[in-house]
Amino acid sequence: MNDKLELDKRKAFILATVVYEYINTAEPVGSVTLTQKYNLGVSSATIRNEMAELEAGGYLVQPHTSAGRVPSDAGYRAYVDRLMQPETLTSDDTRRIRDQFREASRELSDVIDQTTRLLSGLSGNLAIAIAPSRDTHAFKHVQLIWLSPRTSLAVVVTSGGVGAQRAFEWSTDVDADDLTRLSNALNSRFGGRVMEDVGETEIDSICAELKVSTEIRDAVRAAFATARRPGEPEIAAAGAQNLLDQPEFHDLRKLRAILRIVEEQRTLYDLIADELASDGVGTDPSPHVRIGHELRADELAECSVVTVPYRFGDRGVGMLAILGPRRMPYGRLIALASGTARSLGDHLNDVEIR
Amino acid sequence: MNDKLELDKRKAFILATVVYEYINTAEPVGSVTLTQKYNLGVSSATIRNEMAELEAGGYLVQPHTSAGRVPSDAGYRAYVDRLMQPETLTSDDTRRIRDQFREASRELSDVIDQTTRLLSGLSGNLAIAIAPSRDTHAFKHVQLIWLSPRTSLAVVVTSGGVGAQRAFEWSTDVDADDLTRLSNALNSRFGGRVMEDVGETEIDSICAELKVSTEIRDAVRAAFATARRPGEPEIAAAGAQNLLDQPEFHDLRKLRAILRIVEEQRTLYDLIADELASDGVGTDPSPHVRIGHELRADELAECSVVTVPYRFGDRGVGMLAILGPRRMPYGRLIALASGTARSLGDHLNDVEIR
DNA sequence: GCCTGGCACTCCGCAGGCCCGACTGCTAAG
DNA sequence: CTTAGCAGTCGGGCCTGCGGAGTGCCAGGC
pLDDT at A234: 83
pLDDT at A321: 97
- Cβ contact B151–A260 (<8 Å): no
Nearest to A141 by CA among B213, B183, B143: B143
Amino acid at B71: P
Residue B109 has pLDDT above 50, yes or no: yes
| Average pLDDT taken over every residue of chain A | 87
DSSP B264-326: -HHHHHHHHHHHHHHTTGGG--S-EEEEGGGG--GGGTTEEEEEEEEEEGGGEEEEEEEEEES
Q: Judging by DSSP bridges, how do beta strands A70-71 and A60-61 pair with one another?
A: antiparallel
Query: Rounded distance, CA A331 to CA A324, Å?
Result: 13
The arithmetic mean of pLDDT across residues A210-217, rounded, is 88
Q: Which residues of B touch A109 (CB under 8 A)?
A: 109
| Average pLDDT taken over every residue of chain B | 87
CA of A31 to C1' of C2 (A): 18
Chain A CB within 8 Å of residue B239 CB: yes
Give the bases of strand D that a protein CB approaches within 7 Å.
2-5, 8-11, 20-26
Residue B19 has pLDDT above 90, yes or no: yes
Are A40 and A259 contacting, i.e. CB atoms less than 8 angstroms apart?
no
Residue B1 has pLDDT above 50, yes or no: no
The arithmetic mean of pLDDT across residues B7-26, rounded, is 93
pLDDT at B233: 74
Distance from CA of B140 to the nearest CA of A (A): 7
Chain A CB within 8 Å of residue B156 CB: no
pLDDT at B312: 81
Spell out the residues 6+ positions from residue B73 whose beta carbon is closer than 8 angstroms to its own.
Answer: B291, B292, B293, B294, B326
pLDDT at B335: 97
Q: pLDDT per residue over B287-336, tens digit each?
A: 999 999 999 888 899 999 999 999 887 667 889 999 999 999 999 999 99
Are A95 and A292 contacting, i.e. CB atoms less than 8 angstroms apart?
no
Chain A CB within 8 Å of residue B121 CB: no
Chain A CB within 8 Å of residue B241 CB: yes
Query: Rounded distance, CA B290 to CA B324, Å?
Result: 11
- Nearest-CB residue to B157 (from A143, A153, A352): A153
* Nucleotide closest to A49 measured between CA and C1': D24
Name the residue with higher pLDDT: B99 or A168. Answer: B99
Q: Which domains does chain A have, with CATH numbers?
A: 9-83 (1.10.10.10), 91-134+232-351 (3.30.450.40), 139-228 (3.30.390.60)
pLDDT tier at A317, thresholds 50, 70, 90:
confident
* Nucleotide closest to A45 measured between CA and C1': C4
- Nearest-CB residue to A244 (from B161, B241, B256): B256
- Cβ contact B244–A256 (<8 Å): yes
pLDDT at A2: 43
pLDDT at A104: 83
Whether the CB of A46 is less than 7 Å away from nucleic strand C comes out as yes
Burial of A286 (0-12, 13-18, 19+ CB in 10 A): exposed
Whether the CB of B65 is less than 7 Å away from nucleic strand C comes out as yes
What count of Cα atoms within 13 Å lies in the side-chain half-sphere of residue B281?
21
Q: Spell out the alpha helix ranges (H) of A152-287.
A: 176-190, 200-209, 214-228, 240-243, 252-263, 265-278
Nearest to B287 by CA among B328, B238, B340, B327: B340
- Most B-contacting residue of A105, A146, A241 (CB-CB within 10 A), to test interface: A241
Query: Backbone dihedral region of B66: left (phi > 0), alpha (psi from -120 to 50 degrees) or beta?
Result: left
- Cβ contact B241–A256 (<8 Å): yes
Are A30 and A45 contacting, i.e. CB atoms less than 8 angstroms apart?
no
CA of B28 to C1' of D11 (A): 13
Name the residue with higher pLDDT: B18 or A265. Answer: B18
pLDDT tier at B49, thresholds 50, 70, 90:
very high
Percent over 90 (pLDDT), chain A: 45
**Nearest residue on chain B to A159, judged by CA atoms?**
B147
How far are the Cα atoms of A40, A73, A245, A327 from residue A19, in angstroms, in the given order?
Answer: 15, 11, 19, 8
Name residues 301-340 of chain B within 8 A of A (Cβ).
none
pLDDT at B257: 86
pLDDT at B229: 67
Q: pLDDT per residue over B151-182, tens digit each?
A: 888 888 877 666 667 778 888 998 888 888 99
- Nearest-CB residue to A244 (from B169, B250, B252): B252
Percent over 70 (pLDDT), chain A: 90
| Of the ranges B6-15, B34-43, B317-326, the best mean pLDDT one | B317-326
Chain B CB within 8 Å of residue A153 CB: yes
Name the residue with higher pLDDT: B91 or B248. Answer: B91
Residue nearest to nucleotide C2 (CA to C1'): A46
Tell me if residue B17 falls in helix, strand or coil. helix
**Nearest residue on chain A to B246, judged by CA atoms?**
A252
pLDDT at A354: 46
Q: Which residues of B touch A157 (CB under 8 A)?
A: 145, 147, 153
Q: pLDDT per residue over B193-211, tens digit each?
A: 888 888 888 889 998 998 8
The arithmetic mean of pLDDT across residues B101-127, rounded, is 90
Tell me if residue A69 falls in helix, strand or coil. strand
Q: pLDDT per residue over A222-261, tens digit each?
A: 888 877 766 667 899 999 989 988 888 888 888 888 888 8
**Nearest residue on chain B to A242, judged by CA atoms?**
B256
The arithmetic mean of pLDDT across residues A101-130, rounded, is 91
Query: Rounded distance, CA A62 to CA A78, Å?
Result: 18
Q: Which residues of A touch B151 (CB under 8 A)?
A: 353-354
How far are the Cα atoms of A121, A339, B26 from residue A324, in angstroms, in the given order?
Answer: 13, 18, 33
Are A35 and A44 contacting, i.e. CB atoms less than 8 angstroms apart?
yes
The arithmetic mean of pLDDT across residues A340-349, rounded, is 92
Query: Rounded distance, CA A85 to CA A71, Å?
Result: 17
Nearest to A29 by CA among A50, A9, A10, A8: A50
pLDDT tier at A303, thresholds 50, 70, 90:
very high
Query: Rounded distance, CA B340 to CA B123, Å?
Result: 11
CA of B247 to C1' of C19 (A): 27
Lowest mean pLDDT among A282-291, B11-20, B83-92: A282-291
Chain B CB within 8 Å of residue A232 CB: yes
The arithmetic mean of pLDDT across residues A289-300, rounded, is 93
Q: Residues B35-56, buried b or exposed e (16+ Cβ, 10 A)?
A: beebebeeebeebbebbebbbe
Lowest mean pLDDT among A169-183, A226-240, B21-35: A226-240
Lowest mean pLDDT among A111-115, A334-338, B278-282: B278-282
Name the residue with higher pLDDT: A329 or B7. Answer: A329
- Cβ contact B151–A353 (<8 Å): yes
Chain A CB within 8 Å of residue B185 CB: no
Chain B CB within 8 Å of residue A353 CB: yes
The arithmetic mean of pLDDT across residues B41-56, rounded, is 93
- Cβ contact A106–B153 (<8 Å): no
